Amino acid sequence: MAEAPNWSEQAVDLVGRAVMAPSSHNSQPWFFLLGEPYVDLLADRTRALPVNDPDGRELTISCGCALLNLLLAAADRDFQVENRLLPDPEEPDWLSRVAITRDTAERVPEADLAQFIEERRTCRTRFESRAVEQEAVDAMVEAAAAEGAWLRPLVSDERRRRAVELVVEADALQWSDPEWRRELAAWMHTRSEGDGLTVSAFTAPVAQMVVRNFNMGGGVASKDRELAENSPLLAVLGTDGDGPRHWLAAGQALQRVLLVGCSFGLRASYLNQPIQIGSLRGQVSELVGGEGLPQILLRLGYAPYRLSPAPRRPLADVIEWS
């Protein structure tokens, strides 16, 4: 009979599934301290995007996505957990302590979502034209609510049109900023580097130079317009407040929405540009009635082909034993 895995092996396995979460620019801004038996999630500010995300809002959302994966992975092992968010006010980068009880617990239904952690993909191409079934929409709305957030599908043609125009306007503003372009170029990496926005080794130097030095906002806006207009579903995910605790909730909600969507065969990508610009974020809020704070603008649909996973850093780079 095979020997049962010890805690160190189990902890590394949990983190290995946590880091499959999405993150802005695929920056993977997380770090894990492992103890006996707990997992601490910390924000890694060395991987921040100070131009694109000056308040660390999206960084914290990304960590919230990883946290939800961690909790689901623990549930999938039938572990009992206690999740303490922001356990020390004096340590703002300490986002969560997940204490593990390794005694076998009764399996919870949500543990079945863990099977979609490795299957989830971001789709940056045009979706198939078929509509998203209402059952899937309702399930994703419930998924966001389960984490203390909300998901508002943009149903009317007018709201969809306005969302597209805000994305186009935001593209123009961001690409006109040389500092923003330099930051984007710095995160254009080859797959072997394990993070960032993937470009081929052959084209990487040229691609980085072009992005740094040329305002391509018009072309990007045109492409984003086509993607958004032809997406079966556009939706805004938001929270009732706008601080670190709300951002963590938004991340957990986002990941739950993505995994539930994945269970219906859906893929997603992000049109967050107007939420990243303060002068436009309020207009995104107006699209959903002006209540709460928009955190993520999603496009969802069915991918036209099988997608490859984005690269990930070695686990040794994101784990330390306390």
**Phi, psi angles (nearest 5°) of residue 267:** -125, 165
pLDDT class of 1 with cuts at 50, 70, 90: very low
Does 207 score more than 70 pLDDT? yes
Instruction: Tell me how far apart the terminal alpha carbons of the chain are, to the nearest angstrom.
Output: 31
- What pTM, to 2 d.p., does this model score? 0.97
**Nearest Cα to 152, choosing from 137, 168, 131, 165?**
137
Q: 3.40.630.30, 3.30.70.380, 3.75.10.10, 3.40.109.10: which CATH number matches 134-176+215-301?
A: 3.40.109.10
**Phi, psi angles (nearest 5°) of residue 285:** -60, -40
Radius of gyration (Cα) for the chain, nearest Å? 19
pLDDT in tens, 214-229: 999 999 999 999 999 9
Out of 32-41, 81-90, 99-108, 151-160, least confident range = 99-108
Strand intervals (E) in the chain: 30-35, 38-43, 80-85, 94-101, 150-153, 188-189, 197-198, 233-239, 267-270, 293-301, 319-321
Average pLDDT in the 28-38 region?
97
**Do the strands 150-153 and 233-239 form a parallel or antiparallel pair, or are they unpaired?**
antiparallel
**Do the strands 188-189 and 293-301 form a parallel or antiparallel pair, or are they unpaired?**
unpaired
pLDDT in tens, 42-67: 999 999 999 999 999 999 999 999 99
Q: Which fold has domain 7-120+309-321?
A: NADH Oxidase (3.40.109)
Average pLDDT in the 86-91 region?
97
HSE at residue 128, side-chain half, CA atoms within 13 A, is 11
Q: Which amino acid is at 294?
A: P
Task: Record the tokens describing residue 261, joined without a space.
Answer: 């969507």
For the chain, give every domain's residue range. 7-120+309-321, 134-176+215-301
Instruction: Report pLDDT for 3.
Output: 54
Average pLDDT in the 120-143 region?
98
Residue 94 and residue 86 in contact, taking contact as beta carbons nearer than 8 Å: yes
Instruction: Report pLDDT for 108.
Output: 83
Say if 7-120+309-321 and 134-176+215-301 have the same CATH topology: yes
Distance (Å, rounded) from C-alpha 77 to C-alpha 296?
30
Instruction: Report pLDDT for 105.
Output: 66
Average pLDDT in the 70-76 region?
96
Average pLDDT in the 104-109 region?
76
> What sign has the CA pseudo-torsion 226, 174, 289, 254?
positive
Buried/exposed 87-111: b ≥16 CB within 10 Å, e otherwise: eeeeeebbbbbbebeeeeeeeeebb
pLDDT class of 213 with cuts at 50, 70, 90: very high
pLDDT in tens, 257-312: 999 999 999 999 999 999 999 999 999 999 999 989 999 999 999 999 999 999 99
Supply the mean pLDDT for the chain: 96
* Count of beta carbons in the 10 Å neighbourhood of residue 142: 13
pLDDT in tens, 176-187: 999 999 999 999
